[in-house]
Structure 1
Amino acid sequence: MSMLGAGTLAAVLAARHGAGPYAAAVLCALALLLALSLVDAALGLLPDALTQPLLWLGLLRAWMGGSLGPVGLHDAVAGVACGYSLPCLLAWAYALFSGRAGMGRGDLKLLAALGAWLGAYPLPGVLLAACAAGLSWAFLWRRDFRARASYPFGPFLSGAGAAALLLGPEVQWGFG
């Protein structure tokens, strides 16, 4: 990200949330999401060295409460649990029936980290947006829609999560 882009993003966050600790925490989260996207696109993996700080920063932000965002600690912990366990069950069922992995553990950890930031309710919308973006990319740009094709999913999850963070709770996708 260029310095101009980072400065513009910081100004947008400050205008939306005030120039305080929440805007600074979201800026750190967005930087981690960008790094995760770049690493996954280049190497096909989401390292714990990036997903874990994102998760813990989200939980710490929720624990501190108050001016540090709309998601409380209970909602953040529920988001972590739902963000990891429910897709893990789906990935396990897919692997059982297809004989191959459908979603990597790094993707599950990234979704859990997003749950720490967003809570549980927006996660289905984030996952739906990431899937739609991934399918669109595979179909339109790669022109390869085969069932055996494999693509990094982290950039799409990161993008959908970043959009949810930037849009805020009043316009986040979700079912709650």
Structure 2
Amino acid sequence: MPTFVYPIAGILFGLIIGSFLATIIIRWPLGQSVVSGRSRCDSCEKQLRAIDLIPVISYLLRSGKCANCGVAIKSDHLIIELSAGLIGGLALFVAPGIDGMLGAIFGWLLLTLAALDAQHHWLPDRLSLLLAAIGLAASVAVDDPDFINRLIGGLVGFISLFLIGWGYQKLRGREGLGGGDPKLFAAIGCWLGWPALPLVILGAALIGILSAMTMQIRGQAISADSALPLGSFMAITAFPLWIAQIMIGGNLL
């Protein structure tokens, strides 16, 4: 199969996956099922037809509104679908084949976790553990990082952030890190290996600073008690680092 077909397939498959991820991101925090029953409008709950389920195209055809009730569809659907398509395309562009497919899965799970943390300050343990398990299992198909490197990354990632959060709480008397952050950091370590962990934290810190500056420019108050989604920042950093790792063919440090 020609090489150029892989990223195109990654984009198309990513758009389809993105439609499902958007449903998870919107409904899971509300305690609603994301696997049972037919797809329906989140507002009027009318079952959607096939033409309403085409990623991106359906949103544009309906001008971002439900065909039945006319209520605006959350733009999250479009953003997540486009993001998932971009992830799939990039992953299979830099690594056509099994490496790229695994990288796309890495990116799609990170996208889901990033959105849940940004919107609800929630990093579900089940997703983080799934991400970690797939990362370790991927060492069977991908030589670098090897299993030991990934395993150490998982252990170091969890222990380091857990201790930082524990120490902060003891010193300041309040929670500084959510309980899901160390688990996500561990899962990222299971994919990128331990040498990449400092870069993940550095990238997350830079994104956090830019986010805080943007909030201040918009007139939003920022204080020591302001909650910023560290998990989202780590997830946003991790996928580009995976791409860089693939392109240089080894550890980043």
TM-score category by the smaller chain?
0.7 to 0.9
Distance in 2 of aligned mates of 1:7 and 1:132: 25
Which consecutive residues of structure 1, in runs of 5 or more, have no partner in the other structure? Answer: none
Aligned partner of 1:35 in structure 2 is: 112
Q: Does structure 2 conserve the Cα–Cα contact (< 8 Å) formed by 1:83 and 1:115? A: yes
Aligned partner of 1:146 in structure 2 is: 223
Q: Which moved more, 1:42-51 or 1:2-11?
A: 2-11
Secondary structure of residue in 2 paired with 1:122: helix
Alignment of 1:121 with 2:195, yes or no, is yes
Residue in structure 1 matching 2:172, options 88, 92, 98: 98
Deviation digits for residues 64-117 of structure 1 (CA, Å, limit 9, x no counterpart): 04xx25210000000001100012111111111111111112111000000000
Q: Which moved more, 1:164-173 or 1:92-101?
A: 164-173
Secondary structure of residue in 1 paired with 2:225: coil
Aligned partner of 2:144 in structure 1 is: 70
One-letter amino acid of the counterpart of residue 47, structure 1: P
Aligned partner of 1:17 in structure 2 is: 95
Q: Does structure 2 conserve the Cα–Cα contact (< 8 Å) formed by 1:125 and 1:173? A: no
One-letter amino acid of the counterpart of residue 163, structure 2: L
Distance in 2 of aligned mates of 1:12 and 1:90: 34
Distance in 1 of aligned mates of 2:234 and 2:243: 14
Q: Check 1:90–1:141 CA distance in 2 against 1; reply closer, same or farther (3 A cut).
A: same
Q: Does structure 2 conserve the Cα–Cα contact (< 8 Å) formed by 1:48 and 1:106? A: yes
Q: Does structure 1 conserve the Cα–Cα contact (< 8 Å) formed by 2:161 and 2:181? A: no
Which consecutive residues of structure 2, in runs of 5 or more, have no partner in the other structure? Answer: 1-17, 19-55, 57-80
Larger Cα-atom Rg? 2
How big is the shift at 1:173? Answer: 8.7
* Aligned pairs, number: 171
Secondary structure of residue in 1 paired with 2:150: helix
Aligned partner of 2:121 in structure 1 is: 44
Deviation beyond 4 Å, 4+ runs, structure 1? 1-8, 171-174
More helix per residue: 1
One-letter amino acid of the counterpart of residue 179, structure 2: R
Secondary structure of residue in 2 paired with 1:121: helix
One-letter amino acid of the counterpart of residue 17, structure 1: A
One-letter amino acid of the counterpart of residue 12, structure 1: L
Alignment root-mean-square deviation, CA: 2.2
Distance in 2 of aligned mates of 1:151 and 1:173: 29
How big is the shift at 1:6? Answer: 4.2
